[in-house]
Structure 1
């Protein structure tokens, strides 16, 4: 019997998902795809995971998949595989024809050359294939963060052309941006935040509300248009980028003036309207360094956003210049300076080096003739570090005879380090650079 989600009530959709009469395909099984799948699996739903990586598909189906980023997500999917409520495939035809909801989580990123451009290739391909095989009455749901206007101006046409069907009349088109933090994804989806949902029209919105009401305990915020929902997610990231840039600038000012940034900010943030962020060695991850370009690509006149991005992109080089200057002033010139960077990940307690500022830090120190070693407690398939930079999981080895130690990530392993460790292992002439105020013994506040 043909199922038409557009004609079903919210209750019928909910019951259909819970009873297994309706099912979901998730396209792109990275961290976001795995997390959203887990949220629906925890409600008893049936999911097909579609990904272009054959080895990933085989690992999921065989039960050998090792998802170290989030144990809760890993355990949920492992259990669902045994219960036969999820299986993986590389085949779009199989995943789309056997399901009713098609959730897209494939990435859209940037390509940095002389001019920054946006890479839509993965999501364009996903929409082409989904459009080719979807049925009348299905729903396409986009969770990927996108430049505002992308779904309506680009993806809608691809889906309609490939399917020979029309949005709202023949299928639902929904946008609901992922809002998850690595390491706590299920809490974010289920209980930390409301789910943002928009539909191309009222029928699509009804279907989207029904779908996400199953998993979003904090409720749903419905926006008036898909473009508004796309902008909402981009604004979240830009807000963070601009405020981190402000913190980095204020920290640089304090450094020049001999002031303690952390002491001042602790006092300033006692006033509720003051929410000064923590500075760092730069901004990393697949989100915050990318989202500003989703607006800047079409709106170059957004000066504050562009300036903030430049400040944060230059921050690693600034840290390097400042560290060397301070070292030379305190200890004089050295023939060769040994630099230890603590943390390859862009943030603490996860193994994620996407756009990590540590990579630029290491490159910049290396270009200035330093010996550079990077420590991180996690394994990485590809460190992304330049040739000539060593990577190690041996903390003692990383600190041995070091002159400049930069604390780049706030891993718990670094928080607990005692001053005696540095005195014992590092060179007598050593400088600790800790802009995030990670080291417990180094804390002023």
Structure 2
């Protein structure tokens, strides 16, 4: 029996758990741990900062600080708080009380061009864990990280701060989150869990931690670096798929056809050995994961020790896909300019009603939202821009209204950037009456409205991938 195995046997089964980072990943993870009968206590760690301290009080009252539709989350928070199994605290010294600690802290890129991630928040979290680490504990990184980080930077910091040795005195693993906003609890329970330890003992201990919260999902064990690559690659592949349909949408616009007809046709080809994972085009890709995980994967290759054999001088198809998706808000702006031109107006002096600040349907998640670069382009050309979103309450430096009528009133162009359900109910005659314009502009980035209804009512219509309608006659 190894030293670490003996320490774990002496400590016994995992009973008390800590989760660092009370966000879209940390909160549902923590309360699911707390709801598992085999665990006795879960602490959620949150810095008592000006921007985030409100989460501590809300969680300890049994309330969710996350807005938008998250089925079952607030009920589960309330349940585990009332049962005395979950508590949120800013006191990181309490890490020493625990058997296992997970870190769910964001890892953005300040500038993707130089492939240098901003690990400052994660490093702070790792240092806090290291200071209070005790022999036999398990540390798991859930954050999406550059391949090699667990066995590299994280291991080094934990050892320096604790004076202990990873793999001998404590277990260390990577178990990446695989959730989507709007279905957090469901995803954690039902998606297979990738678990990669720095050695077999670490992997087994991490499997013990995650197995009790899985319902339909199963654990897939591998090495820590393989787990890191799995997470970055799955998001990179999804980004690539979105870029493929976005580029097809641009092609269809240029050829005067409907991308949704083409998509239906492609998707209809089914049978053994046939795979057509064709997604949906849109106004841009947002969120914390897809917008940066490609760069983690690229960086992992560059800092690794192996030799990459790849066509000389060729761009990475993954980075090119990122560029296509980053272009979509620019394309939305170009469609808006073209539509305004048809009614003799320029962007300068026009009033733009932006519908949707969150990047995902019926959510308050506005991280890296494509709405922001679109707004910036409009403001640069001296347009007046008003933003509506029923879910996003606060966003730094942006005034957002939940009053749709006020935002649409007197607008020259109404631009749909998010697929919120409420926008599906918008009627052309209502929009025309509120704008007060003879020929208002509607630009649909999510295929929400029925083009012919708006065209019949005198609108100038433009839509992503709607080459069949974008050059319609003005009525």
> When the two structures are superposed, what TM-score results if normalisation uses the length of structure 2?
0.84
Residues 67 and 305 of structure 1: CA distance in aligned 2, closer, same or farther (over 3 Å): closer
Contact kept in structure 2, 1:342 and 1:409, CA below 8 Å: yes
Q: Deviations over 1:118-150 (max 9, x none)?
A: 111112122222122111111001111111111
RMSD: 2.5
Which residue of structure 1 aligns with residue 462 of structure 2?
none
Of the structure 1 ranges 173-182 and 365-374, higher mean CA displacement relative to structure 2 is found in 365-374
Which residue of structure 2 aligns with residue 236 of structure 1?
234
Instruction: Say which SS state the counterpart of residue 31 (structure 1) adopts.
Output: coil
Given candidates 29, 38, 48, the residue that maps to 2:22 is 29
Contact kept in structure 1, 2:62 and 2:74, CA below 8 Å: no
Which residue of structure 1 aligns with residue 211 of structure 2?
213
Given candidates 317, 330, 333, the residue that maps to 2:345 is 333
Which residue of structure 1 aligns with residue 420 of structure 2?
411
Provide the C-alpha distance between the structure 1 equivalents of 2:246 and 2:74, rounded to a whole number of angstroms: 36
Contact kept in structure 1, 2:145 and 2:296, CA below 8 Å: yes
Provide the C-alpha distance between the structure 2 equivalents of 1:158 and 1:430, rounded to a whole number of angstroms: 58
Residues 425 and 131 of structure 1: CA distance in aligned 2, closer, same or farther (over 3 Å): same
Unpaired runs of 5+ residues, structure 1, are: none
Instruction: Say which SS state the counterpart of residue 53 (structure 1) adopts.
Output: coil
Contact kept in structure 1, 2:59 and 2:88, CA below 8 Å: yes
Residues 127 and 336 of structure 1: CA distance in aligned 2, closer, same or farther (over 3 Å): closer
Instruction: Say which SS state the counterpart of residue 88 (structure 2) adopts.
Output: strand
> When the two structures are superposed, what TM-score results if normalisation uses the length of structure 1?
0.89
- Aligned-residue offset at 1:108: 1.2
Provide the C-alpha distance between the structure 1 equivalents of 2:155 and 2:381, rounded to a whole number of angstroms: 50
Which residue of structure 1 aligns with residue 326 of structure 2?
313
Instruction: Say which SS state the counterpart of residue 409 (structure 1) adopts.
Output: coil
Q: Does 1:395 align with 2:394?
A: no
Unpaired runs of 5+ residues, structure 2, are: 303-313, 454-465, 469-475
Q: Alignment length, in residue pairs?
A: 428
Given candidates 364, 369, 372, the residue that maps to 1:351 is 364
- Aligned-residue offset at 1:416: 1.9
- Aligned-residue offset at 1:424: 2.2
Which residue of structure 2 aligns with residue 137 of structure 1?
136
Provide the C-alpha distance between the structure 1 equivalents of 2:157 and 2:452, rounded to a whole number of angstroms: 55
Which residue of structure 2 aligns with residue 367 of structure 1?
380
Which residue of structure 1 aligns with residue 246 of structure 2?
248
Provide the C-alpha distance between the structure 2 equivalents of 1:107 and 1:6, rounded to a whole number of angstroms: 34
Which residue of structure 2 aligns with residue 102 of structure 1?
101
Contact kept in structure 1, 2:350 and 2:412, CA below 8 Å: yes
